[in-house]
Structure 1
Amino acid sequence: MESPSVIFMSLLASLFKRWPEFLLALLSFFSIKWYSKHKNNLSSLNWPFLGRLPSVLRNAHCVNEVLLDTFNIFGSSFKLKGPVFTRMNYLITCHPQNIEYILKTNFSNFPKGQEFKEIFDIFGDGIFTTDFYPWIQQRKMTHSRFTSKEFRNFVAQVNRSEVEVTLLPLLVHLSKEESTFDLQSVFVRLTFDTSFIMTFGRSPKYLSADFPSNELAEAIEVATETMFYRHVVPSLWWKFMRLLRVGQERENAKARRTIDHEIGELISQKMKELLLLGFGPDKGLLSTYMNNDHSQVGEKSTHKFLRDTALIILFASADTSASGLTWFFWCICNNPRVESKILEELRNVVSKRKNGDDDDDHSMKENRVYVFDPEELKELVYMHAALIESLRLYPPGYLNHKSVVENDVLPDGVRVRKGMKVILSIYAVARMEWIWGKDCKEFKPERWIDEEGKFRSELLSKFFTFNVGPRTCMGKEMAFSLMKSVIAAILFNFHVELVEAQPDCLKQSIVLLMKNGLNVKVRKRVA
């Protein structure tokens, strides 16, 4: 019979031979034990070895709600880390003072950064992705055009024409047919047309009764979905997928080829027109860039510069305005009290017209479809407050991505390190009680109006939908003008009704859009 010591040594030898199985069993035991302890709080878990990567991937479809839950647990700022190999090292914040500090006070320490440029590589070297001197030069060029009286008048004419000639006749047709349709799709098409005309000087007619396809618009949509995807998976993973051309990266590669081809053709066509006909009445941005002396910025008049600039304008001025309009009507359909107050303001405008004996005004059609001039809408405080309130609750650009150049301390005391990434949750800002009060989640335009009926501009200090600081959206006023013109025309002429109670599920995109659209019916109002 063997001695106990021999038996023990034999068992130990056997164990060492099978150490991988033993280690795996031990790891599984502790993992199951740890999971059982934390399973009720998965959205904010910091997993062993993997950090918070599993939580990010698991909740990518509802990222805003997960961030809200996490802020409520950890406060206005928290750090998010993944495995070392993923280089996921983020600070995520919704503190207004932090956001202002990053976007304005210490702007130079928080550029977009190289990772941002890689994620948004489809925009090339345009103003959206560049930093420092190249960004300053491009912003000067763009600002000079956006602020010119001639271009603003051109944009106003485009917006009015698209509303009057395209949008309202389509809605009249749909109201007669009593059709159910996706209002979000209408807005996406409308704003694509307006931004296309603003850029290239002609309409693609994406918004029409037969709802045609458009390869460029659809390719840009795929690109925005890819940008979202790249935000929620490790960079090594999506770069590997891009190398293999599989999954979302395969679709993105196709979309990029389409974008490059379509915009390239448009640029070449425009160059030929200008060579043959000269610089005539075309006020589109592309023509003005081609006609400008770009010597102060080197070779910026190249084909690539024009391609990058055109794509960014199409993206920035189309999907964002469509998002703003969609969520505004979502709020209005669920708050008829607000709709009634806006209608009262609009009826006062029409009443003033009639009192002025302007019966021949081209805005007042025989079929009683009214179109409003932007100047008439500037003084409508309640409509402005309602639009600002919907943009507060549903900001089109709901996340802002920054990098850190040097170590710093944010106003709330959180330290950030060189090389970290910072995510600003604009969506969460609107839903923090300590920022906006206990009614923060309510759609309440009255919060923006004081006792004298004036707009409370001081509240804009915690309103970041259009950014703040040096990168404040240059197209802000033009976006307001378009959205107000569309809102006034639709609300005054039609009653919009949700087909059924629809959940506000979000599309997986960098722009806040509804996953399933906004299905409605419209009914012509009786004048």
Structure 2
Amino acid sequence: MAISFLQELLISTLVLSVPLYFYFKSSTRSSKNNTVLPTNWPIVGILPSLIANIHNLHGYVAHVLAASGQSFRAHGPAGTGMRFFVTCDPANVRHIFTTNQANFPKGAEFAEIFDVMRGSFFTVDGEPVRRQRAKIQTVLGGPRLLARMAASCRDKVEKALLPLFTDMARMGTPFDLQDVVARFVFDVTATPVFGVDPGLLSRIGMPMPPVDAAVAMDTVMEVALFRHTVPASCWKAMRWLRVGPERKLAAAHAVLRGFITEMMEKRIKKSREEDVQKGAAPAVDIVSSYINDPEYCEENGGGLLRATLINYMIAGRDTIGTTLPWVFYNLAKSPHAVSIIRDELSPIASRKATGADTMMIFEPEETKPLVYLTAALYESLRLYPPGPIERKTVVAGDVLPSGHEVRAGDTVFISLHAMGRMEGVWGKDCLEYNPGRWLPETGEEDGVGKAKRLRYVPSHKFLAFNSGPRMCLGKDIALMQLKTVVAAVVWNFDVEVVEGQSVEPKLSCILQIKNGLVVKLKKRQM
């Protein structure tokens, strides 16, 4: 009976949606210079608006927020109880993330949406998240682990990424930079987590290992966006029936769990080999801090440990792997910014004795104080945040600084992608890539690159690393990895984006480029 009712509900919704879809599409075409605000239609709610703009969902939401004063309401089909409040107003963000953050948890449905990580620090609220964050601070604050992570990134750049790029530049062959970066970042993330390098990135002429686990992580984020936008009863029924996106997600979950098992087995084997060596140093990896913790090993048969390790992998991989292609895309369109970054790197490079054919490597401690390089990264994160949306649940009714009321049970979506495109937040040039906006005026007057510090921008205005009590604990690590890669590539190569391709975000909870980023490299002559 339940299945029959669901089928009738879906069919009825689709039948009602079709004429409204074409009406809405017609209205959009006739108003090319005017943003059409989403209509909360009877019975079907905002569904026709989503259908008409699903191909450009993040961009559409940004246009609607700009036209509606940075906040708007919406509701789903009748009977679903889906009530949404969408905002990118920094004052609202500060209230939601800091001032009254206890009233805006992620909520139980968020944990269900990301069920492969259920129970880990990404999905929990209250005391569990405070306890787990304290553990993460201890783990990521260890000097030996930090040194291992920096060395892992630096060595992978020198021994894998730059040699591969040198081959590609010599051949002059266009290639998908996003795919290469994804492999690189997967290795760089997994190595300090498990103490084992998966080896997904290889040189030309060597077989590239399969990327099943990376593809599975992409699937988790793509299907998560689907779960965010349809009634929970709908996707749960699909999960039970193993149909549609849920069938694909179930397969992805199996791949991720298999990957964790495989990496743990490799780690155990490596540890045994090291044990037979006299004086072998103890393992320096993230899993060592969890594997003997009763909370992670015994609860749910080790399920929390698996969820936590998947969480670490997704958090590390998605932040860097999603950001780097957009950084190179922006820099390829901004030769002035590239020139300033090279000027900033030049004094460091001059102290290094290298041959004409030797690739220049910049150590993490050398790039840490570089202000303009940091500004260039922040500017890309402003326009293309790796996580374009945040979701919160309302516990008790509240009035936001914008004057909007929210009710208990409402779902709040915060669009980071839209916030970076608001003229009221960033000025009339909000759509332009301009690292100078992050520097003091005196630095801009002196040619930008001479600035000694960044301009202060509060986290509720620049939300790429979250805000309030849930501020990203891996921010400094992420910036270290980004700088290590960007400095080496920008100094050694010219990056050209191949013309004619459509560069737009994928429909996902992470802001990957939909069809990859095809580029050509040219080795710099110095």
Q: Same fold (TM over 0.5)?
A: yes
- Aligned twin of 2:200: 206
- Aligned twin of 1:479: 478
1:384 matched to 2:374? The reply is yes
Give, in angstroms, the shift of residue 68 of structure 1: 1.7
Q: Please state whether the residue corresponding to 1:459 is helix, strand or coil.
A: coil
- The farther-off stretch of 265-274 and 436-445 is 265-274
Q: Provide structure 1 residue ranges, at least 5 long, that are not aligned to the other structure.
A: 1-26
- Aligned twin of 2:329: 330
Question: CA RMSD, aligned part only?
Answer: 2.5
- Aligned twin of 2:115: 121
Give, in angstroms, the shift of residue 298 of structure 1: 9.1
- Aligned twin of 1:46: 40
Give, in angstroms, the shift of residue 265 of structure 1: 3.3
- Aligned twin of 1:150: 144
1:437 matched to 2:427? The reply is yes
Task: Answer whether contact 2:326 2:384 (CA < 8 A) is retained.
Answer: yes
Task: Answer whether contact 2:120 2:304 (CA < 8 A) is retained.
Answer: yes
- Aligned twin of 1:515: 514
Number of equivalent positions: 489
Letter matched to residue 491 of structure 1: V
Counterpart pick for 1:455 among 453, 456, 463 = 453
Counterpart pick for 1:253 among 250, 266, 277 = 250
- Aligned twin of 1:410: 400
Give, in angstroms, the shift of residue 36 of structure 1: 10
- Aligned twin of 2:227: 230
Task: Answer whether contact 1:57 1:233 (CA < 8 A) is retained.
Answer: no
Give, in angstroms, the shift of residue 454 of structure 1: 3.5
1:132-156 Cα shifts (integer Å, max 9, x gaps): 1111111111110111111111101
1:218 matched to 2:212? The reply is no
1:68-102 Cα shifts (integer Å, max 9, x gaps): 22113321111110123222211100000111111
Q: Distance in 2 between matches of 1:260 and 1:425?
A: 31
- Aligned twin of 2:499: 500
Q: Please state whether the residue corresponding to 1:159 is helix, strand or coil.
A: helix
Task: Answer whether contact 1:404 1:419 (CA < 8 A) is retained.
Answer: yes
Give, in angstroms, the shift of residue 233 of structure 1: 2.2
Letter matched to residue 42 of structure 2: P
Q: Please state whether the residue corresponding to 1:521 is helix, strand or coil.
A: strand
Task: Answer whether contact 1:42 1:55 (CA < 8 A) is retained.
Answer: no
> Runs ≥4 in structure 1, deviation > 4 angstroms?
30-43, 271-280, 295-302
Task: Answer whether contact 1:404 1:416 (CA < 8 A) is retained.
Answer: yes
Give, in angstroms, the shift of residue 315 of structure 1: 0.5
Q: Please state whether the residue corresponding to 1:79 is helix, strand or coil.
A: strand
Q: Please state whether the residue corresponding to 1:342 is helix, strand or coil.
A: helix
Counterpart pick for 1:190 among 184, 192, 217 = 184
Task: Answer whether contact 1:103 1:468 (CA < 8 A) is retained.
Answer: yes
Q: Distance in 2 between matches of 1:194 and 1:37?
A: 48
Give, in angstroms, the shift of residue 35 of structure 1: 6.5
Q: Distance in 2 between matches of 1:256 and 1:301?
A: 17
1:301-341 Cα shifts (integer Å, max 9, x gaps): 95212211110111010122111111111101111111111
Task: Answer whether contact 1:201 1:282 (CA < 8 A) is retained.
Answer: yes
- Aligned twin of 1:100: 94
- Aligned twin of 1:179: 173
- Aligned twin of 1:55: 49
Letter matched to residue 347 of structure 1: S
1:74 matched to 2:68? The reply is yes
List aligned pairs for 1:334-353, cutoff 5 A.
334-351=333-350, 353=351
Q: Distance in 1 between matches of 2:421 and 2:322?
A: 19
Task: Answer whether contact 2:42 2:78 (CA < 8 A) is retained.
Answer: no
Give, in angstroms, the shift of residue 419 of structure 1: 0.9
Q: Distance in 2 between matches of 1:228 and 1:463?
A: 22
Q: Provide structure 2 residue ranges, at least 5 long, that are not aligned to the other structure.
A: 1-15, 444-450
Q: Please state whether the residue corresponding to 1:80 is helix, strand or coil.
A: strand
Q: Please state whether the residue corresponding to 2:507 is helix, strand or coil.
A: coil
- The farther-off stretch of 265-274 and 90-99 is 265-274
- The farther-off stretch of 397-406 and 232-241 is 232-241
- Aligned twin of 2:132: 138
Task: Answer whether contact 1:405 1:419 (CA < 8 A) is retained.
Answer: yes
Task: Answer whether contact 2:496 2:519 (CA < 8 A) is retained.
Answer: yes
Whichever of the two has the greater Rg, that structure is: 1
1:193-236 Cα shifts (integer Å, max 9, x gaps): 01110111111111113433122222222222111221222222
Q: 1:421 and 1:33, CA in 2 relative to 1: closer, same or farther beyond 3 A?
A: closer
Q: 1:236 and 1:344, CA in 2 relative to 1: closer, same or farther beyond 3 A?
A: same
Q: Please state whether the residue corresponding to 2:362 is helix, strand or coil.
A: coil
Length-normalised TM-score, structure 1: 0.87
Letter matched to residue 455 of structure 1: R
- The farther-off stretch of 330-339 and 63-72 is 63-72
- Aligned twin of 1:281: 282
Give, in angstroms, the shift of residue 42 of structure 1: 5.8
Q: Distance in 2 between matches of 1:149 and 1:221?
A: 31
Q: Distance in 1 between matches of 2:477 and 2:522?
A: 28
Q: 1:514 and 1:297, CA in 2 relative to 1: closer, same or farther beyond 3 A?
A: closer
Q: Distance in 1 between matches of 2:516 and 2:297?
A: 44
- The farther-off stretch of 282-291 and 93-102 is 282-291
- Aligned twin of 1:399: 389
Task: Answer whether contact 2:24 2:49 (CA < 8 A) is retained.
Answer: no
Give, in angstroms, the shift of residue 435 of structure 1: 0.9
Q: 1:469 and 1:379, CA in 2 relative to 1: closer, same or farther beyond 3 A?
A: same
Letter matched to residue 453 of structure 2: F
Give, in angstroms, the shift of residue 288 of structure 1: 2.6
Q: 1:36 and 1:134, CA in 2 relative to 1: closer, same or farther beyond 3 A?
A: closer
Length-normalised TM-score, structure 2: 0.87
Q: Distance in 2 between matches of 1:62 and 1:32?
A: 15
Give, in angstroms, the shift of residue 107 of structure 1: 1.4
Give, in angstroms, the shift of residue 504 of structure 1: 2.5
Q: 1:490 and 1:272, CA in 2 relative to 1: closer, same or farther beyond 3 A?
A: closer
Give, in angstroms, the shift of residue 497 of structure 1: 0.7
1:461-491 Cα shifts (integer Å, max 9, x gaps): 4111000111111111111000100000001
Q: Please state whether the residue corresponding to 1:348 is helix, strand or coil.
A: helix
Give, in angstroms, the shift of residue 299 of structure 1: 4.2
Give, in angstroms, the shift of residue 62 of structure 1: 1.1
Q: 1:525 and 1:236, CA in 2 relative to 1: closer, same or farther beyond 3 A?
A: same
Q: Distance in 1 between matches of 2:25 and 2:195?
A: 61
Q: 1:445 and 1:42, CA in 2 relative to 1: closer, same or farther beyond 3 A?
A: closer
Q: Please state whether the residue corresponding to 1:412 is helix, strand or coil.
A: coil
Q: 1:204 and 1:269, CA in 2 relative to 1: closer, same or farther beyond 3 A?
A: closer
Letter matched to residue 148 of structure 1: G
Task: Answer whether contact 1:43 1:66 (CA < 8 A) is retained.
Answer: no
Q: 1:256 and 1:297, CA in 2 relative to 1: closer, same or farther beyond 3 A?
A: closer
- Aligned twin of 2:3: none
